[in-house]
Amino acid sequence: MPIALLNGRVLRGKALVEGMCVLIEDGRILAVAPEGDTACRDAAPRDLGGHVLLPGFIDIQVNGGGGVLFNDAPTVEAIRQIGHAHRRFGTCGFLPTLISTDLDVVAQAIAAARQAMACGVPGVLGIHIEGPFLNVERKGVHDPAKLRELDTSAVGLLASLSSGITVVTLAPEMTTPQIIRRLADAGVIVSAGHTNATYAQIVEALHHGLRGFTHLFNAMSPLTSREPGTVGAALEDRSSWCGVIADGEHIAPAVLRLAMRCKPLSRFMLVTDAMPGVGTDARSFKLQGREITVSGPVCLDEDGRLAGSNIDMASCVRNAIALLGLPLAEAVRMASLYPAQFLGLAHELGRIEPGYRANLVLADDDLNVLETWIDGEPSR
């Protein structure tokens, strides 16, 4: 029997709409209609208590959560635990993210993502491979011993998922424009990150299929007066997407407000870059043998360098409203529709519309998550 979600304020377009029924069945949204509609009367009712119903959040950069780091355990069970931890904060779709490592571990992680999707692990959409094809000059906390150039020998591996989405973060100067084109033609979404590329190198990469920028401003050549760098190229290009960590620490809010004046807001996506502490009370963890400390919304290594975040997507949305001055609808789109567009999934995710997958978030007025649905299945 279809389920009718009633007595909620449903985000549609730019407004919260009252008096609407969201009808779901077999993992999809059948209809969004007035509550008195015949189809809604014939369905099993679920009272939302007047709370806010939002499209499910999509996080394209999730290193860990629930005490698990994907690098330490590139397995189906690890993906399940990470997804479960982030679901409590509204993440209904995510890419488990592998930090620079050896290629045999990359192969294990891809196999785990493939199996996780095949056996229906809730929310997993594919995989994000962040490195090892990065520039040591912008390595951040990535292990320099793992970094390498990308040649043709690894293209087949990176394109081997076969189902779901693969995002690869690389430094364009660590490979060739032709290899970037081969990856893009194979269906891989290529994103620039941990890069010291010049403006000209990024522009050429964009012409060869580069589609996005990983954690904009962080670990990339900056915008300067005579060399626009990666940041300048990213902000000038109106077609590419930029992932941003809205924790108030990775990017100063004023800098991010300025960045969002340079290109359409629809090209900015909220990401967490989350580490294992999300969903736990842990104050430290190990990353490739190094001690990482949780400090508020960020994680720091022994030298005080940023090592990912300890933030969730609901908090990112709240920060987009409080720190960036965005309206609720725009902040939510940065966490749902825009990442869906980046991944090529906007035909089925990111909106509350008939035919879309029933990935939904119920939240109170402070955006505390009360319940989620992934493919129509409620959280438990």
Positions marked active-site: 273
| Beta carbons within 8 Å of 86's beta carbon, 6+ residues apart | 59, 62, 65, 66, 94, 123, 272, 274, 278, 279, 312, 313
**Residues listed for the chain:** 380
CB 85 within 8 A of CB 65: yes
* Helix boundaries (H) for the chain: 38-41, 76-87, 103-118, 155-158, 177-185, 199-207, 229-236, 253-259, 313-322, 328-335, 337-342
CB 323 within 8 A of CB 333: no
CA-closest candidate to residue 320, choices 261, 269, 379, 283: 269
**d(C-alpha 274, C-alpha 309), whole Å:** 5
CB 29 within 8 A of CB 348: no
> Residue 190: helix, strand or coil by DSSP?
strand
CA-closest candidate to residue 97, choices 85, 89, 106, 88: 106
Backbone phi, psi, residue 85, to 5° = -65, -40
**d(C-alpha 155, C-alpha 169), whole Å:** 13
Greatest Cα pair distance, the chain, in angstroms, is 65
Residue 66, CA distances (Å) to 69, 187, 274, 275, 285 in order: 9, 31, 10, 9, 12
CB 193 within 8 A of CB 169: yes
The tokens for 172 are 């364009």
